[in-house]
């Protein structure tokens, strides 16, 4: 049944493609018996394409490693990409396409919290495990679905780490939260509200915004009027750059610019050509990994990434990389491509030494991953917290724009 289905799909694909199809049907029939397809949903186009590319590069490095070691269960591993165009409705369509048409036994993705939250009901209904590399909004793990697993640390951990860092650095009293108004921003803003309250930091302003806007000057002006000591951003990359450029125009000078990673932790962010350039200087960010991380293989991953892309990776890339390796490990342990067997293997998964630290999922499917705080110093991300991992001392307070 399965191979008949596969060949009918192949015929359809041929009819659509019309080219490059010589002997396609028989090849495909044989091919699918010798291949394991892993479904991947990410944002290859649209406003989050920079992160989708980071995913793709991370996955590609892991795929090379897997196949050069002989693949999985004696078969070659193949990635089946679905581009969600940075839109949640497309991500949901991706689940249908990957599961119903391509019969993938597991899905990795999506990139954003918004899109990941959107596909949780779909994978739960279709009973396919979903392994999340980068969605930090904690509500993606709060649905009670037994099919979801998350590699990265979430919004709660981000807020707790940032507050702990601030407490150790002079314990500022007031904070403003500025967040993009989709799932990622909302979830991180909520987590920070709670964490700040617990630590006795007064949140004097919260500002939600649309991430595609060219103009945040009035928003920043509003924040400036409340003069908070700390600003906590939850932003994607393009908006992060615009915000920091316009923070200078408005003359917004908090003692600490902090952030929930993502845009503020992207490799492009401190560069002048693709980010905020010098305006990124002194900003703090939560981070999950850096090329200088202590875990074995970090340096090698960095080298491979630079060789492939010409630039250094941020944590989004390695989270994709490790997600594919964890999926492969689960398939190997399950010794099967049955979605349920893979799900059960994920629950038992224990990878004590990976490039991203130990990987183990708790009863809710969450991998406990430690969080670092970095600061942009001289155009580079430097770890400044916690103390035992710090490469550099934090520069505080942030110098005002006129004194830079």
By the criterion CB under 8 A, which residues form the site for other proteins? 44-47, 49-50, 52-53, 85, 181, 207-210, 212-219, 221-222, 225, 238, 241-242, 245-246, 248-251, 272-274, 277
**Element at 307 (helix H, strand E):** helix 298-309
Least distance to other proteins from the beta carbon of 249, Å?
5
Contacts 24+ apart (CB under 8 A), 302-305: 304/61, 305/57, 305/58, 305/61
Residue 41 or 50: which CB sits closer to other proteins? 50
The number of CA neighbours under 13 Å toward the Cβ of 114 is: 19
Helix (H) or strand (E) holding 220: helix 217-226
The set of residues, in sequence order, having a beta carbon less than 8 Å from that of 213 and lying 6+ positions away, is: 239, 242
In angstroms, give the least distance from the CB of 245 to other proteins.
6
For the chain, the helix, strand and coil percentages under 3-state DSSP, each to the nearest 5: 45, 20, 35
Tokens coding 246:
């316009």
Rank residues 269 and 361 by Cβ distance to other proteins and give the closer one.
269
Q: Report, in Å, the least distance between residue 177 CB and other proteins.
A: 12
Query: Residue 136: what are its φ and ψ, rounded to 5°?
Result: -95, -20
Least distance in angstroms from the C-beta of 138 to other proteins: 21
Nearer to other proteins, 32 or 259 (CB): 259
CB of 48 or CB of 145, closer to other proteins: 48
> Closest distance between other proteins and the C-beta of residue 366, in Å?
29
Nearest CB to other proteins, comparing residues 215 and 388:
215
Smaller CB separation from other proteins, 158 or 236: 236
Buried b (16+ CB within 10 A) or exposed e, 178-212: bbbebbbbbbbbbbbbebbeebebebbbbbebebe
Find the angle CA(154)-CA(159)-CA(165) to the nearest 5 degrees: 125
Type and span of the H or E element at 109: strand 107-109
Taking the complex as a whole, the smallest distance from the CB of residue 207 to other proteins amounts, in Å, to: 6
Please give the structure tokens belonging to residue 373: 């705080």
Say whether the peptide bond before residue 233 is cis (omega within 30 degrees of 0).
no
Q: Which is nearer to other proteins, 245 or 308 (CB)?
A: 245
CB of 109 to other proteins, least distance (A): 17
């Amino acid at each position: 049944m399965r191979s008949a289905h596969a060949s009918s799909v192949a015929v359809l694909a041929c009819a659509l493609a019309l080219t490059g199809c010589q002997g396609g049907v028989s090849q495909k029939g044989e091919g699918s018996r010798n291949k394991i397809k892993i479904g991947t949903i990410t944002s290859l186009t649209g406003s989050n394409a920079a992160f989708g590319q980071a995913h793709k590069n991370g996955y590609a490095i892991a795929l090379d490693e897997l196949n050069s070691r002989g693949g999985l269960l004696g078969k070659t591993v193949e990635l089946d990409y679905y581009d969600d165009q940075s839109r949640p409705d497309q991500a949901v369509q991706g689940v249908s396409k990957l599961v119903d048409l391509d019969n993938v036994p597991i899905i990795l993705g999506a990139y954003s919290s918004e899109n990941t939250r959107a596909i949780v009901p779909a994978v739960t209904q279709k009973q396919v495990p979903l392994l999340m590399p980068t969605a930090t909004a904690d509500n993606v793990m709060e649905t009670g679905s037994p099919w979801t697993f998350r590699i990265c640390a979430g919004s709660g951990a981000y807020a707790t780490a940032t507050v702990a860092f601030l407490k150790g650095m002079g314990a500022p009293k007031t904070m403003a939260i500025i967040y993009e108004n989709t799932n990622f921003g909302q979830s991180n803003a909520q987590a920070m509200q709670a964490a700040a309250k617990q630590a006795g930091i007064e949140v004097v302003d919260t500002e939600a915004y649309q991430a595609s806007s060219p103009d945040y000057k009035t928003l920043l002006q509003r924040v400036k009027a409340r003069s908070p000591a700390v600003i906590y951003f939850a932003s994607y990359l393009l908006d992060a750059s615009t915000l920091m450029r316009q923070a200078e125009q408005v003359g917004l000078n908090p003692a600490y610019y902090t952030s929930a990673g993502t845009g503020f932790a992207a490799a492009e962010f401190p560069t002048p050509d693709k980010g905020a350039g010098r305006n990124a200087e002194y900003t703090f960010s939560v981070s999950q990994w850096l090329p200088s991380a202590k875990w074995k293989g970090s340096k090698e991953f960095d080298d491979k990434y630079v060789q492939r892309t010409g630039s250094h990776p941020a944590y989004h890339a390695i989270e994709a990389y490790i997600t594919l390796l964890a999926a492969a490990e689960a398939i190997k342990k399950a010794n099967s491509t049955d979605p349920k067997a893979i799900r059960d293997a994920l629950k038992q998964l224990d990878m004590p030494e990976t490039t991203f630290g130990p990987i183990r999922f708790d009863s809710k499917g969450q991998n406990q991953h430690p969080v670092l705080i970095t600061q942009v110093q001289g155009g580079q991300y430097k770890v400044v917290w916690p103390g035992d991992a710090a490469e550099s001392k934090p520069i505080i307070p942030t110098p005002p724009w006129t004194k830079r």
